[in-house]
Amino acid sequence: MSLDDFKFIYWMEWAHRMWGRTLGLAFLLPAAFFTARGWVRGPLARRLALLGAAGGGQGLVGWWMVRSGLEEPAEAWETPRVSPIRLAAHLTSAFAIFLTLLYTSFQLTWPGPPPGVVGGPAAAAAVTTLRRAAHPLAGLIALTALSGAFVAGLDAGRAFNTWPEMGGEGVFCPPEYWSEGGPAGAASGTAPAQFHHRSLAYATLAGSTGVWLAYRRTPGLPPACRRALALVPALAATQVSLGILTLLSHVPPALGTLHQVGALTLLSGAVGLIFTVRRGPGGVSAVLKRVL
C-alpha cells in the first residue's frame, strides 16, 4: 500500500466516523428538545429512545468491526480485512435503524387508520390476505440483503464474473462451492457467499413478482396497497439488473455503492408495503393524534 492509498482510506474512515457522530447529534438534540417541551411522549418517546440507543450501539458495532481488521493476517501475502460477520452485523444494524426511522415517518405522516379499516369489510379482507404474503416477502428481501454483506466482506464479487453461469460455460454451481464449505461457508467462502446471494436474488425477484401477480386483482384491495405491491417487483428487477451489471464489471466502487443503495431502496419498498397492510391505528399514530 502506498502512502496515497493509506491517506485515501484514512480520510474515508475519518469522514465516515464524523458523519456518524453528526447524525447522532442531529437526532438526539431535537429529540431532547421535543421531549422537554412535552411534544413527544408515550410510545413515540420510547421508539425514539430505542432509536437513539441503536445509533449509539451502531458506533460500537462499527468499532468492533474495524478492530477485526487490525489483526495480522495468517500469511504475509494476505490482505488484512474486517470480519465478514462483523461487517454484516454493522450493515444490518444500519439498515434496521434506517427502516425503523422510515416506518416511524410513515406513521407520523399518515396517522389515520389503515386502508382495511377505512374501506370496510371487503378492503379489510383483502388487506388481511395480502398481509400473509407481504411479511414473508419482506423477510426474504432482508435475507438477500444480508447475504450481500457477506459478498462484500469477502470481496466475492470479484470472482466468478460471468452470468448466468458461475465459473464456466453451463456451470451454475461451481465445484468451489462444496470445497469451500457449501451452505456452512456462507460467511467464509467466496463461492458459497456469491452462490447464496445469486440464489436469494432470483428468489426475491420471483417471489415479489409472484406476490404481485397473485394479489394485484384482489377485490377490495385499496389503491395504496396496489401501488406498493406493484413497486416492490419493479425495484427487485432493477436491483437484480444492477447486481448483474456490477458483477460483470468486476465491482467498480461506484456500481458497488449503487447496488448497496438499491438494496436499501428495495427494503424501503417492502417496508412501505408492510405499512399499507398494517393492522391498526394505534401506537405512534395514536400518540400523534393526541399531541395534535
pLDDT the model gives residue 124: 87
What is the Cα 264 distance to its own chain's centre?
4
Residue 247's SS3 state is: helix
Cβ 238 vs Cβ 126: under 8 Å:
no
Helix axes 42-68, 84-109, angle to 10 degrees: 160
Cβ 93 vs Cβ 57: under 8 Å:
yes
pLDDT the model gives residue 116: 65
Q: Rounded to 5 degrees, what angle do the CA atoms 162, 157, 204 make? A: 80
Q: Where are the domains of the chain?
A: 1-114, 116-276
pLDDT the model gives residue 283: 47
Distances (CA, A) of 128 to 47, 52, 227: 26, 33, 16
pLDDT the model gives residue 140: 97
pLDDT the model gives residue 184: 92
pLDDT the model gives residue 76: 67
For cell 494476505, the residue is: 78
User: First and final CA of the chain: distance in angstroms?
Assistant: 58
Query: Average pLDDT for consecutive 10-residue bins of the chain (292 residues)?
Result: 90 93 94 89 89 93 90 73 90 95 92 73 89 96 95 91 86 91 91 96 97 93 93 97 96 94 97 90 48 42
- pTM for this one? 0.89
